[in-house]
Amino acid sequence: MEYVNLGRTGLRVSRLVLGTMNFGVVTDEPDSFRVMDRAHEHGINFFDTADIYGPGDSVGGTEELIGRWLAQGGGRRERTVLATKLHGAMGDWPNEGRLSALHIRRAVEASLRRLRTDYLDLYQMHHVDRATPWEEIWGAFEVLRQQGKVVYFGSSNFAGWHLAQAQEAAQARGFVGLVAEQSIYSLANRWIEVDVLPAARHYGIGVIPWSPLSSGILGGVLRKQETAVRGATGRGAVLLERHRGQIAAYEAFCAELGADPADVALAWLLSRDGVTGPIIGPRTVEQVDGALRAFDVTLDEPTLTTLDELFPPPGNGGPAPEAYAW
């Protein structure tokens, strides 16, 4: 396993991040435990979850499952860089979501209880809250750090200007601020290259791509009929219809390379400047094993050029304003 520093911090994390959204939803508890154990066997030390994950209306269910896995001991907590998120509604009352100081206080205590730990390595805002001032948010987060309940803070689904706004407010308080940003990013969705990636690099914020296979369409969906049937509903079906021509050409190109499409997609993200590591969401132990093949894929300049031709970056390419202006 390869390791890098998370953003500008001294924290070393694996270049693949174990996403847990399927745990307790698609993958039952015994198999989820096996997936997490196998991740550790491969050296994956960075686990990501969220307080709203869980089967059906059971918000918090995935955190509880992870907590039971951690409670087995054997160094599981010590070897895990544990990240969770807050923002989503945990109930029907007005202050059971978003980023008010009150909800932050309640949400962290609930996550700690469900995860059966006394601290979080990374606490992430799942979405920006335009209604809450940064003075309130950072004030609440500062207390959590002083109490030893959270070590680092991050964001998810922020625009570049949100990163700048948040970081400037934190720096004005003499606070460390954000060290990581989770953004949707893949060959099929490159919008963050316009402003999020440049802002993150400027502020030393590590970028953690989610949906690296773009809801499965970059995983060989046309080549594997079984996968095509499974992926023919919901978001994946919409994306596949929109990108069908590109996906067909992409799978043909991957065949020429002698590499699995999913491995190429992950390897491409690993090659991006500013990317800490993509989130993988394995449902099985075999899928954990398979994700490591991405490290064996070498993408030379001609290959990267072809991938750019197959999946062009937004506008003129590169950061704003050159992406859409001179």
Name the residues annotated as catalytic.
53
d(CA 82, CA 39): 13
> What is the Cα 151 distance to its own chain's centre?
18
d(CA 232, CA 221): 9
Instruction: Judge whether 45 and 13 are in contact, CB under 8 Å.
Output: yes
Which amino acid type is present at position 175? F
Q: CA-CA distances (angstroms) from residue 207 to 19, 106, 270, 273, 283?
A: 15, 27, 11, 9, 23
Q: For residue 280, what are the contacts with CB-CB under 8 A and spacing of at least 6?
A: 16, 17, 18, 19, 212, 266, 287, 288, 291
d(CA 196, CA 218): 22
